[in-house]
Structure 1
Amino acid sequence: MNIALVTGSGGLIGSEAVSFFADKFDLIIGIDNNMRQYFFGPEASTQWNQDRLASDFATYEHHTADIREVSQLEPIFQKYGTDIKLVLHTAAQPSHDWAAREPFTDFGVNAVGTLNMLEMTRLHAPQAVFVFTSTNKVYGDNPNFLPLIETETRWEIDTNHPYYKNGIDEYMSLDHTKHSVFGASKVAADIMVQEYGRYFGMNTGVFRGGCLTGPNHSGAQLHGFLSYLMKCAITGTQYTIFGYKGKQVRDNIHSWDLVNMFWHFYQNPRPGEVYNAGGGRYANCSMLEAMALCEEISGNKMNYQYSETNRSGDHIWYISDLSRFKEHYPTWDWTYDLRSTMTQIHDSMIERLAVTQ
C-alpha cells in the first residue's frame, strides 16, 4: 500500500495536498487538531475544511492528534510503517505576533513538533520522502537591508542589484538578524529537517514559502494576507495596514502550485535540499496593489486604517527566486497568476459566506 501522511491537513496547504494526492496514493492520512482556531479564534477554524475532505475523498482518513505529543503520533506510524511513502509536514503556528504571546506553544508546535515528525518517520518509515513547509522568515529581517527604492505603490529593489531579476535566493544569510519568535522556531525546524537529510540520509526537502494562498485559506488578521484582505473587502470589515506606507511587497504562490512543487520533489527527491517557494516575479504585489485588486474583483471599496507601527521582523520587500528549484525540476512552472488566484479566493469566500448566513 502507498500512503501519504499530511499534517495540518485542514489548513491551506494540507487540504490542497489531500486533494492533489487523493488519486496518487491508496490512502491519505490527515493529522490536524484545529489549533488554528486556538491561535486566531473561531473565524480561523479549519473544521469546515476537515469536514469537506472527509466528505469529498473516500481515501482520506483523519486523525485528531497533537504533533507535540509523540504518544499521539507513534500509534499512527506503528500501524502503517513502511507503507508511508510521503510525509508532508505543513502543521505550524504561523504568526509573528501570536508567537510572542506564547513562545513555549510556538516553539512546541514549530520546532518540537517537527522533530517528533522527523523521528517518527526515521524510526518507522525511513525511506519515505519528508517534505517540510518552512518560511522565508528564516532569513529574518536581512531582506530589509537590501537597497530598496520607494515608488508610488510599492518598495522595489535597485535595478542594479543581483536580486532584481529573479528575487532572493537560498544563500541569503540566516544569521545576524531579527527573526521574531516565530521565525526563530521555524529556523530550528528548518535546520533540523536539513540535518535529517544530510546526517541520516533521509529524503528530506525544505520549502521556504513566501505568501502561500488559495481559496481554502481560513484567513485571519494575524495570518493569511490575501484571504483575510479579500474577506474584509467582501464583508466591509476594517483592515489595518501595519507600517511601510502599505507599500511592502510580497510574492504569492497558489497552494496548488506549491503542492505541485512537492509532487515533483517526491518523484525525484534530493536529500537535505532547500528551496525558496513563492510567486517570484510571476506573482507579487504590495499591500496597496493587493487592496486595489480586491476592490476591482469584489466591486467594493476597502474599509481600512493605517498604523505607523510595522510588525517586528516583517519584510519590506520579499520576492522569492525559484531558479534553483526550476533548474532541478525543469518541467515545473506556475499555473496561477495573482489575478486568477484572487478571483478564486473571492468566489470561494462568497460561497462559504452564503452557507454560513
Structure 2
Amino acid sequence: MASLLVTGGAGFIGSNFVAHWTATHPNDRVTVLDLLTYAGNRANLDGQPAELVVGDIRDEALVSELIDSRQVDTIVHFAAESHVDRSILGPDAFIETNVLGTHALLKAARKAWVDGGKPHRFHHVSTDEVYGTLGPSDPAFREDTPYAPNSPYSASKAASDHLVRAYHHTYGLTTTTSNCSNNYGPFHFPEKLIPLFILNTLHGRSLPIYGDGMQVRDWLHVEDHCRGIAAVIQHGRPGETYNIGGGAELPNIRVIDTLCAEVDKLFAADSALAERFPDAPAASGKPSSSLKTFVTDRPGHDRRYAIDCHKATAELGYEPKHSFESGLAQTLRWYLDHEDWWRGILDGSYRQWVETNYGGRQTAAG
C-alpha cells in the first residue's frame, strides 16, 4: 500500500490523475495538496476517495508535516502556474510557484526520505514547452533535446526540471520527470484553447485565433497522460525523463475547425441544444466557424511542438489510446453534460480573478 501526496490535485490534470490512481490502486492513500487558486476546484474531486488539504507548496513546514503524518512515500507534483498568456502579463507568480514551490517540495522530500533512508519516489510533471519551438521539418522533441524555453512559463518549468534533476544527482533523491504535450479532456479549465472555444461557440462569442492559426501542437487526451504518468511512477528508472505524447500533431486552425464541425453536428442531431444555447450560431442553422476571428499573434509564440515518446513506449509500454477525433468528441460531450461545473467557474471565482488581475481580458487561442 502506497501513500501519495498529489500537489495541484484539484486542478485539471491533477484531478484526472487522482481519479485514475484511486480507480486502479483502491488500497492506496491519496492526499491532495492544493492552494485552490482560480484554476483549482474542490468540485473536481467530488466522489474521489482522496483527502484535500488546502495549502501552498511553498510552505515547506506544511509539506514536511504531511509527509510525516500521512506516511507519504510518493509525491506526484502537478502544482504549477501553467498559462502562457498569464505568464507574459504577470511572470512573478510563475517564478514563485513553479520554481520556489518545487524547491520547497524537494527540500521537504530530501529531509524526510533521503536523510531518513526511506524508499520513495518524487515524480515531477513538466511540459514539452521547455524544449522551445520546432521548424516544420524538424524532428520531434526527444528527452535529450536541448532546453530552449521561450516564455516566462516555460522558463519557470525548465528551472524546476533542472532542480529535480539536481536533487537526484546531488542528494540521491529518487526522482522521475515527464514532459507532456498539450492536454485536453474533462475538467479542463476554460482559459485554454479547447474548453474556451467550446464555451465561446455555445454562447455565440468570438473565437480569437492568434496569427494565422497554423501553430502546431501535439494533442494528448488527459486520460492517456495519466496512464503515462502512472507508468513512469511504477516502472520509470530513477533520474530519468520520459516524454508523453498523444500522437496527434495538428495545427490550431484544424483543431478549431474540427471542433466547430462537431458542435454543428451535435446541434443538428439534438434540437434541445438550441433551446439550451440559443446564442450559438448552430442553434439557428449557421456554422460555428462563422465565429472565427484572427487576432495579432502573442509575443514569442512558439510555432510547433511535437513529442517523440518512443522511450516511454519501449521502456514502459506506453501508447495513447485516444484518437484526437474520438477524444475531442468525448470532451465536447463532457462539457455539454457538465454545464453546472463550468457555469460555476465562469460566474464565480474565475471571473472575479480575471477582472481583478487582468481587467477582464480574455486570451486568444494558441
TM-score, normalised to structure 1, is 0.82
2:320 to 325, 334, 348: 334
Instruction: Identify the residue that residue 199 of structure 1 maps to in structure 2.
Output: 170
Contact kept in structure 2, 1:215 and 1:227, CA below 8 Å: no
2:91 aligned with 1:103: yes
In 2, the alpha carbon distance for the partners of 1:237 and 1:284 equals: 27
> Counterpart in 1 of 2:215?
248
Q: Kindly provide the amino acid, as one letter, of the partner of residue 31 in structure 1.
A: L
SS in 2 for 1:34: coil
* Aligned match of 1:227: 195
Match of 1:278 in 2: 245
Q: Contact 2:168–2:175 at 8 Å: present in 1 too?
A: yes
Paired residues of 1:86 and 1:128 also in contact (CA < 8 A): yes
Establish whether residue 79 from structure 1 lines up as the match of residue 50 from structure 2: no
Tell me the residue number matched to 1:153.
none
1:46 aligns with 2:40: yes
Q: Does 1:56 align with 2:21?
A: no
- Residue 288 of structure 1 aligns to a residue whose secondary structure is helix
AA aligned to 2:10 is G
Between the aligned partners of 2:300 and 2:146, the Cα distance in structure 1 is: 15
Deviation at 1:64, TM superposition (A): 0.5
- 8 Å contact from structure 1 (residues 115, 192) kept in 2: yes
Instruction: Provide the residue aligned with 2:60 in structure 1.
Output: 70
Give the match for residue 288 of structure 1: 253
Pick the aligned partner of 1:317 from 300, 304, 308.
304
2:228 aligned to 249, 252, 261, which one? 261
> Residue 197 of structure 1 contacts residue 272 of structure 1 at CA under 8 Å; is this kept in 2?
yes
Letter of the structure 1 residue corresponding to residue 107 of structure 2: E
Q: Structure 1 unaligned segments of length 5 or more: list them.
A: 38-44, 149-156
Give SS of 1:9's match.
Answer: coil
Count residues with an aligned counterpart.
314
Distance 1:52 1:109, change over 3 A: closer
> Residue 2 of structure 2 contacts residue 73 of structure 2 at CA under 8 Å; is this kept in 1?
yes
Aligned-pair CA distance for 1:293? 1.0
Q: Which amino acid aligns with 1:75?
A: E
Give how far 1:52 is off: 4.5
CA distance, structure 1, for counterparts of residue 233 and residue 44 of structure 2: 26
- Matched residue, 1:131: 123
Equivalent position of 1:40 in the other structure = none
1:139-154 → structure 2 map (5 Å cutoff): 139-141=131-133, 143=134, 146=135, 148=136
SS in 2 for 1:267: helix
Please point out which of 116, 125, 141 is paired with 1:168.
141
Whichever residue aligns with residue 87 of structure 1, its letter is I
SS in 1 for 2:226: helix
Percent identity over paired residues: 24
Which residue is equivalent to 1:9? 9
Choose 258-267 or 232-241, whichever is displaced more.
232-241
Q: Deviations over 1:121-173 (max 9, x none)?
A: 222244322111111121234x2xx3x3xxxxxxxx2xxx5x2xxx2222322
**TM-score where L is the length of structure 2:** 0.80
Q: Which moved more, 1:107-116 or 1:64-73?
A: 64-73
Q: 1:316 to 1:96 in 2, by over 3 A?
A: same
Matching residue of 2:78:
90
Q: Does the CA-based 8 Å contact 2:128-2:141 persist in structure 1?
A: no
CA distance in 2, matches of 1:95, 1:206: 20
Unaligned runs of 5+ in 2: 265-281, 283-287, 345-366
